[in-house]
Structure 1
Amino acid sequence: MTAYDDLMAHQRQTEALAQIAGRLSWDRETVMPRGAAAQRSEEAGALSEVLHARRTDPRIGDWLEAASGEALDQAGEAQLRHIRRSYERTQRVPCDLAARIAKFTALSQGRWAEAREADDFAAFAPVLAEVVALRREEGAALADGGDIYDAMLDDYEPGAKAVDLEAMFGALRPGLIALREAALGAAAAPVVSGQFDVQTQMRLARQLAKVCGYDMTRGRIDKAVHPFSSGSGDDVRITTRTSDDEPFNCIYSTMHEAGHAIYEQSIDPAYALTPLGAGVSMGVHESQSRIVENQLGRSRAFTGWLYGQLRDAFGDFGIDGPDAFYAAANSLHRGYIRTEADEVQYNLHILMRFDLERALVSGDLAPGDLEEAWNARFLRDFGYAVPRASQGCLQDVHWSVGLFGYFPTYSLGNVYAGCLAEALRQAVPTLDDQLADGDMSAAMAWLRENVQQHGGLYTPRELITRACGAEPSEAPLMNYLEQKFGALYPAG
């Protein structure tokens, strides 16, 4: 056994325990009884302490030093890069702080859910203040004198800097606003109408997940308030949600989460339970979910096929033909909820959250003032007022568990998806013919070969550059949006 072998054996056990922790979180969101929240908090805290101790084990430093002199292949060097980064970052966070964060956020998520249901931000504000304080303490430890928000961002998008994202998002904003104003000034798109049986929606969701390439023998679909994907390798689970009078929510939540899950299922099996055996970043992860949901799932070709599937499942639902259905699936509309936003306005939601959370982390915005700041910013950006907290600052789960630095990866994922979609169409010129038959196999094979199989082998920026033949840029995304929505909502 070499030092590298010893290190990887230790790492495999750590990764296995981390998967168990993820399964506990999945259970909490799907089937855990409400009365179990306090006990689950203790369980999460205990497991967090075990994981923290393993990730800061002094032997890791010795193994890393010894292994650095061994002859390793590209994957081995990448494993060391990930382990060294994780080890150095985890060492900076005291064990008791990591346990306090795990324990408190396990409870705070339940408090958020209760406050959201009651539309009562005031009840949640003290909880948010404690979460912000804990994460700021952690961020300061990680930053080691550097920028606290960048240290938080690095957890989700290694190597990214807020100043670079600010420039990229600033370049997106004018075009997004122009498209939104043109579309919202045009005639309203068709809308679906009727009642849509929930069980039928779930059957359709499973069918669509399989069409996207999701392996149901290594996964399952359940319902949750906030859809998510969980796990890696041979156990990757997704959730969706349903609405009695609106099937798009279920359809596109399912396709979005399937995109995440397929990424995890498609990583080289040799990387299982190692640092390379998961998506390399949240931005890249989001690119996989968004390209499945939007560039593929909302394309004119695929929606033509999907229209027939919905007609077979639900009968008449008020849409007259595939063209009208395509317009309905891509309508720009007023709304408050990020996860229900159209492709154009979605990024405006993210840009708002990016600015607000940076203000929370820097101390420029007090947690108790978040609702007022959110409502003022929303009114300025979208032109109408937020009616209640559940449609405003309480709509997302992220801040309740302290995921600061996560939100910007959504828009970065859209940027990556724009780059990948452009390269995909060049590589698969018959893509629309296949999508019109409900066939995503060629598209998913290209993504698997160029992105998904590599897991964490490359850095996020390297991965996208290799797949697309060019550095990531917001230009392909804006070109796609302007062509698509310019045709759907032509200037008067």
Structure 2
Amino acid sequence: MDRAYAELMAFQRGTEALAQVMGRLGWDQETVMPPAAAPQRAEEMAALEAVLHQRRTDPRIGEWLAAARPADPVQEANLRHIARRFARDSRVPEDLAAEIARVTSRAHGIWAECLQSEDVAAFLPVLRDVVDLRRQEGAAIAQGGDPYDALLADYEPGTTAAEVARLFDALRPPLVALRDAIRDRPAPPVLTGAFPEEAQLALAREVATVFGYDWSRGRLDKAVHPFSSGSGLDVRITTRTRADDPLNCIFSTIHEVGHATYEQNVAEEHRLTPVGQGASLGVHESQSRLYENQLGRSRGFADWLFGRMRDLFGAFGIADADSFHAALNALRDGYVRTEADEVQYNLHIMLRFDLERALMRGDLEVSDLEAAWNDRFLADFGFPVDRPSHGLLQDVHWSVGLFGYFPTYTLGNVYAGCLHVALRRDIPDLDEHLARGDAGPALTWLRERLQTHGALREGADTIRAATGESPGEGPLLDYLRDKFGAIYGLADAVK
């Protein structure tokens, strides 16, 4: 092996390991950390971020990159990722990186408290600090370019806000037309009954197993906002429960399992290397959204899930599997992104994209953010926000500084639409397997076509390699029209 490459990768392995430790601190903070520990955890996160920043900007990295001669595509990909991160972090002062870690750690705890108390005013001061720090970081990285593009590149390299805006412009009219057509139709039935938390979590663990989660390398805990954390041999997921809605727990779990199995299934030889992770956040979301929706809410899987829910909860107001499938996919007006139906989900992302882009550009100030959110929500969805936890406070992302993250959810939906077409083409009897609670054929296809390769390719190239087609919004729109057209009897009204 090339000596410069070997020395660089030995150094990088230590950096990757420390990054995993920092991720574990974040998992602990959101699950089991004592509330009073928040100020100390903020200092711990800042200290570790300073160490990571020093390693990622070590001058030797530039020397190794200049001297390294890659021998294969994997080595080329590792060098590409390291060079990109080195260039990015070298533009960000160490004290700024540490302060971002400190403030976002503290802000997360404040957000969680304000979410419970419905207190936007108490959250805005720390959010103002987070926005200011991210503006500074975006400007430092962009060096005269668009700061929002610089932050977006952290999650979806090679994609610009202008490209995202064009995608949203293509998606919005057909999504709104489909929604409006469905709103005129009778609503599917709703679940009723008693859904004890213990039974919900038992079913969550069962569906996680069905969708391939390796429990020897993971665990399931509760969190205010479900998430997945880690890679390789330690990949943890969280979920949440609601006494009146077991589907929230079940599908939050399936979603996070999609993220987690991607990380668990990356080839062992890539572990603790830049290639040993998801290709991009958009590709990551393609896995979670595909698991959750195209597989988890499919007619086939509805058969199996209906039976298991009857076993655990008894009668719950749904007569049969057909009605249950309609209930799983019902279009219901609501406030919360994570609970939104597939037709309206991306409209939530568009709202957040426009607001956070304006924040990072300085066109919108934090003091005006709640009013801007509420005005935009009313315009987009047709009814007013009723309380802060259903509006500005509902998502964790801005509290922890994840500006540029939201567009990847829609990119993930678009990518999932493309993967679903190829998956159905190659596994024509997929629904028969899912009806037996057997996701194995789909999981094998995804593992071999996409997951095992990690970040070998860039985001869109990863989808292209898996499907043989360039990604676009067409397959997602066709899927939504066909699925919801059948459920609501729309025929060709929305074609």
User: 1:306-385 alignment to 2 at 5 Å?
Assistant: 306-385=305-384
Q: CA deviation at 1:490?
A: 2.2
Indicate the SS of the match to 1:237: strand
Q: Which amino acid is 2:235 matched to?
A: V
Hey, what does 1:176 align to over in structure 2?
175
For 1:56, the aligned partner's letter is: T
C-alpha separation between the residues in 1 aligned to 2:241 and 2:295? 21
Equivalent in the alignment of 2:109 = 110
Quote the Cα distance in structure 2 between the aligned partners of 1:83 and 1:245: 47
Amino acid corresponding to residue 4 of structure 1 in structure 2:
Y
Structure 2 match to 1:210? 209
In structure 2, what is the Cα distance between the partners aligned to 1:111 and 1:218? 31
Looking at structure 1, the residues matched to 471 and 367 of structure 2 have their Cα atoms a distance apart, in angstroms, of: 37
Q: Give the C-alpha shift of residue 90 in structure 1.
A: 0.6
Q: CA offsets, 1:258-282, max 9 Å, x none?
A: 0000000000110000000110110
Cα distance between partner residues in 2 of 1:444 and 1:266:
10
- Give TM-score scaled by structure 2 length: 0.98
Kept in 2, the 8 Å contact 1:23–1:231? The answer is: yes
CA contact (8 A) 1:122 1:368 kept: no
Does the 8 Å CA contact 1:182/1:489 hold for their aligned counterparts?
no
Answering whether residue 41 of structure 2 is matched by residue 40 of structure 1, we say yes
**Where does structure 1 differ by over 4 angstroms across 4 or more consecutive aligned residues?**
none
Output aligned runs, 1:207-286, within 5 Å: 207-286=206-285
| 2:488 maps to 1:489 | yes
Distance 1:192 1:281, change over 3 A: same
* 2:438 equivalent in structure 1: 439
Q: Does 1:424 align with 2:423?
A: yes
Assess if the C-alpha contact under 8 Å between 2:70 and 2:76 holds in 1: no
- Structure 1 residues 16-35: aligned runs within 5 Å: 16-35=17-36
Counterpart check, 1:11 vs 2:12: yes
Q: How many Å separate the matches in 2 of 1:444 and 1:210?
A: 12
* SS state at 2:114 partner: helix
Distance 1:71-1:116 versus aligned 2 partners, 3 A rule: closer
For residue 318 of structure 2, give the secondary structure of its aligned residue in structure 1. coil
Paired residue type of 1:145: G
SS at match of 1:316: coil
Quote the residue 2:184 is aligned against: 185
State the Cα distance separating 1:468 from its structure 2 match.
1.4
Query: In structure 2, what is the Cα distance between the partners aligned to 1:250 and 1:117?
Result: 19
Mapped to 2, the partners of 1:116 and 1:247 lie a distance apart of: 21
Please give the per-residue CA displacement for 1:222-256, whole angstroms capped at 9, x wherever unaligned.
00010000000010000001111211001100000
Distance in 1, Cα, partners of 2:121 & 2:489: 44
In the TM superposition, 1:56-71 aligns within 5 A as: 56-67=57-68, 70-71=69-70
3-state SS, counterpart of residue 237 of structure 2 = strand
Q: TM-score, normalised by structure 1?
A: 0.99
Query: Where do 1:468-483 residues align within 5 Å?
Result: 468-483=467-482
8 Å Cα contact 2:213/2:261 also seen in 1: yes
- Please give the alpha-carbon distance, in whole angstroms, between the structure 1 residues aligned to 2:461 and 2:338: 29
CA distance in 2, matches of 1:471, 1:322: 35
Does the CA-based 8 Å contact 1:229-1:237 persist in structure 2?
yes
Cα shift at 1:71 = 4.8
Amino acid at match of 1:275: P
Verify the 8 A CA contact 2:278 2:284 in the aligned structure 1: yes
Partner deviation per Cα, 1:324-353 (whole Å, 9 max, x = no partner): 100111100010000000011110000110
Query: Which secondary structure does the structure 1 equivalent of 2:82 belong to?
Result: helix
Matched residue type, 1:115: C
Q: How many positions carry a matched residue from both structures?
A: 490
In the TM superposition, 1:72-151 aligns within 5 A as 72-151=71-150
- 1:59 is aligned with what amino acid? R
The CA distance in 2 between the partners of 1:378 and 1:338, in whole Å, is 12
By how many angstroms is 1:304 displaced? 1.0
SS at match of 2:236: strand
Once the two structures are superposed, residues 68-96 of structure 1 have per-residue CA deviations (whole angstroms, 9 ceiling, x without a partner) of xx251111111101101111101000000
What does residue 54 of structure 1 align with?
A: 55
Q: State the shift of 1:145 in Å.
A: 1.3
Gaps spanning 5+ residues in structure 1: where?
Answer: none
SS at match of 1:438: coil
Aligned counterpart, 1:467: 466
